[in-house]
């Protein structure tokens, strides 16, 4: 007799949380045919909202090496970066602010030490060049930017979230079942783009943590 679907889902969740990248198809195949559609929906729902596991270096290397991850992340980052390349200079000009002035305003508004202006300006320049993934911008930073630029924060958040890629390789899956689940997922391993932590300070936290 096939295992209870709840038991299979529990096994998948345990493996996910342990960073073992559970095989979606393998878990689905363990269920009775009549239970598979609901189990697939339950796994999809879990992965869509589950925290990113604490992957070890070997697992992260394997994820980065998968073509679907590289292609999806690159396409989504390019889409988001393109929006910010167009949006931020326009908003700055409308507010009559140079990049340096916006950086100084952010440092003041956020209560940062004055010597953080240079680093803040560099991050803003990366945003305008499309070289920084805007999903990393924290809510605190977006709040301050919105006030200084005179726009609703939602406008900036929308540009940051646009084109978020599906999580095609946080778990292993092949075949039609995998294709279905890949169209539904809205998460990706934050660890893939996480900075190394060397020289990390509050400015990095504001621009790269994605803290909401």
Same domain, yes or no: 184 and 141 = no
Angle at 198 between CA 197 and CA 199, to 5 degrees: 110
pLDDT band at 99 (very low <50, low <70, confident <90, very high): very high
Q: What is the mean pLDDT of residues 111-139?
A: 89
Same domain, yes or no: 153 and 182 = no
pLDDT band at 195 (very low <50, low <70, confident <90, very high): very low
For the cut 50, the answer to whether the pLDDT of residue 65 exceeds it is: yes
For the cut 80, the answer to whether the pLDDT of residue 103 exceeds it is: yes
pLDDT computed for residue 125 by the predictor: 92
Task: Find the domain containing 136 and state its range.
Answer: 82-164+197-208
Residue 135 lies in a domain: yes
In whole angstroms, give the CA distance from residue 156 to residue 203: 18
Same domain, yes or no: 148 and 174 = no
pLDDT band at 188 (very low <50, low <70, confident <90, very high): very low
pLDDT band at 77 (very low <50, low <70, confident <90, very high): low
For the cut 90, the answer to whether the pLDDT of residue 97 exceeds it is: yes
Q: What is the mean pLDDT of residues 131-148?
A: 88
Residue 132 lies in a domain: yes
For the cut 50, the answer to whether the pLDDT of residue 9 exceeds it is: yes
Same domain, yes or no: 203 and 189 = no
Residue 208: exposure state from Cβ atoms within 10 A (0-12, 13-18, ≥19)? buried
Q: Do 138 and 210 touch, CB atoms closer than 8 A?
A: yes
Higher-pLDDT residue of 7 and 160 is 7
Higher-pLDDT residue of 189 and 33 is 33
Higher-pLDDT residue of 112 and 199 is 112
Locus of tokens 């700055």: 92
In whole angstroms, give the CA distance from residue 52 to residue 55: 8
The model carries a pTM of: 0.50
Concatenating the DSSP letter of every residue in the chain gives -PPPHHHHHHHHHHHHHTT---BHHHHHHTS-GGGHHHHHHHHHHHHHHSPPP---HHHHHHHHH-HHHHHHHHHHHHHHHHHHHHHHHHHHHHTT--HHHHHHHHHHHTT--GGGHHHHHHHHHHHHTT-S-GGG--HHHHHHHHHHHTS-HHHHHHHHHTTPPP-SSSSB--HHHHHHHHTT-----GGGG----TT--HHHHHHHS---
For the cut 90, the answer to whether the pLDDT of residue 196 exceeds it is: no
Angle of helix 57-65 relative to helix 67-94, nearest 10 degrees, comes to: 80
pLDDT band at 168 (very low <50, low <70, confident <90, very high): very low
Domain count for the chain, please give it: 2
């Amino acid at each position: 007799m096939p295992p209870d679907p709840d038991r299979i889902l529990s096994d998948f969740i345990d493996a996910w949380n342990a960073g073992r990248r559970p095989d979606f198809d393998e878990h689905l195949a363990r269920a009775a045919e009549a239970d598979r559609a609901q189990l697939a929906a339950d796994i999809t729902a879990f992965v869509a909202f589950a925290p990113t596991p604490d992957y070890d270096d070997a697992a992260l290397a394997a994820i980065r090496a998968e073509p679907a991850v590289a292609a999806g992340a690159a396409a989504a980052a390019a889409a988001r970066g393109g929006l910010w390349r167009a949006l931020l200079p326009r908003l700055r000009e409308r507010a009559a602010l140079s990049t340096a002035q916006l950086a100084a305003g952010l440092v003041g508004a956020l209560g940062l030490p004055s010597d953080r202006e240079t680093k803040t300006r560099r991050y803003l320049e990366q945003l305008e060049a499309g070289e920084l993934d805007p999903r990393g911008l924290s809510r605190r930073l977006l709040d301050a930017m919105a006030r200084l630029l005179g726009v609703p924060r939602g406008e900036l958040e929308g540009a940051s979230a646009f084109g978020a890629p599906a999580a095609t390789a946080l778990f292993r899956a092949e075949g039609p079942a995998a294709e279905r689940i890949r169209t539904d997922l809205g998460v990706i391993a934050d660890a893939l783009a996480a900075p190394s932590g060397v020289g990390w300070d509050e400015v990095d936290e504001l621009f790269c943590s994605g803290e909401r």
